[in-house]
Amino acid sequence: MDTQIEHKLSKANGLRESENYGESAKLYTECLIELLKKSDPEGLIHCLSGQSLIYKIQARQNSLPVYRHLAIAFAKESFAIAEKNQNLDGRVLSTAYSSYADALLMDENFAESLPIFEKSLSVSTAAVPEKGRLKAHIGSVKYILGDKEEGISLIKEALTDIRTGDLSTYPIRVWETGALNVLAKIMAKEANLDEAKKLASESLQIATEHNLSIRKREVEEIIAKLSSGKTDFSI
């Protein structure tokens, strides 16, 4: 992947995280066209996975099925490229696998998603905190599939792993609050409301201090639901 494309993908990622989805999608599409011409599998995986995430976020905020379909389609293409290019670095392969596994959750294909998440973790050459992010996903799916004790244990382990990273950096805090939010919802479903509120409060503080707008909105919704006595969270 050449430096110009790498820079554009980084900018597209930043625009997505700042919720400027239109400009982000435009940049991803420009990169996609260039990468297809160059047959660059690594770049295509990063590009397709990043664009999938845009539509996953939109699907959470809007009930139109087109967003879900797009999120799954982009992630599936990323997965297919990874399967055909097993010589790529493990971190790149892991990105493709986790993107597709995450997209499968949108159609509640939990049993199909789990082994792909596990494969994503097994091939990853990333550092401990990033592997922690994957563990949190695996724990969530295990909980949904009925292995509640193992699922909760894995998410707690994931949180510890994530926190071994540099807590002043944006990705670490995004992963940390993601794990906290999932754990808060699980504790609520397990009727441990005090712990759920504690975890949600901690997540809100981190999201506010580090300007994590998407995570902040997520946890505010969790807190509002907890305050009204509701515990029927989707994980």
Sign of torsion over alpha carbons 195, 235, 15, 97: positive
Asked if residue 82 lies in contact with residue 42, where contact means CB atoms within 8 angstroms, the answer is: no
Backbone φ and ψ of 204, nearest 5°: -60, -40
Q: CA 193: distance to chain centroid?
A: 25
| Average pLDDT of the residues in 146-159 | 98
| Average pLDDT of the residues in 32-42 | 97
- DSSP class of residue 18 equals T
For residue 1, the model assigns a pLDDT of 76
Nearest to 46 by CA among 85, 113, 116, 185: 85
Residue 235 has pLDDT above 90, yes or no: no
* Helical spans, DSSP H, in 18-164: 21-38, 41-61, 65-84, 90-104, 110-123, 128-144, 148-162
Q: What's the whole-model pTM score?
A: 0.94
For residue 220, the model assigns a pLDDT of 98
185-214 pLDDT, tens digit per residue, is 999 999 999 999 999 999 999 999 999 999
When pLDDT is cut at 50, 70 and 90, the band that residue 83 belongs to is very high
For residue 148, the model assigns a pLDDT of 98
| Average pLDDT of the residues in 35-45 | 97
| Average pLDDT of the residues in 124-128 | 97
| Average pLDDT of the residues in 125-133 | 98
Compute CA distances 182 → 15, 139, 171, 175, whole Å: 25, 10, 17, 11
Cα separation, 182 vs 235, whole angstroms: 6
Compute CA distances 18 → 25, 133, 141, 215, 223, whole Å: 13, 20, 28, 12, 23
Asked if residue 164 lies in contact with residue 131, where contact means CB atoms within 8 angstroms, the answer is: no
For residue 154, the model assigns a pLDDT of 98
Backbone φ and ψ of 94, nearest 5°: -60, -40
User: In whole numbers, what is the pLDDT of the chain averaged over residues?
Assistant: 97
When pLDDT is cut at 50, 70 and 90, the band that residue 63 belongs to is confident
For residue 191, the model assigns a pLDDT of 95
- DSSP class of residue 39 equals T
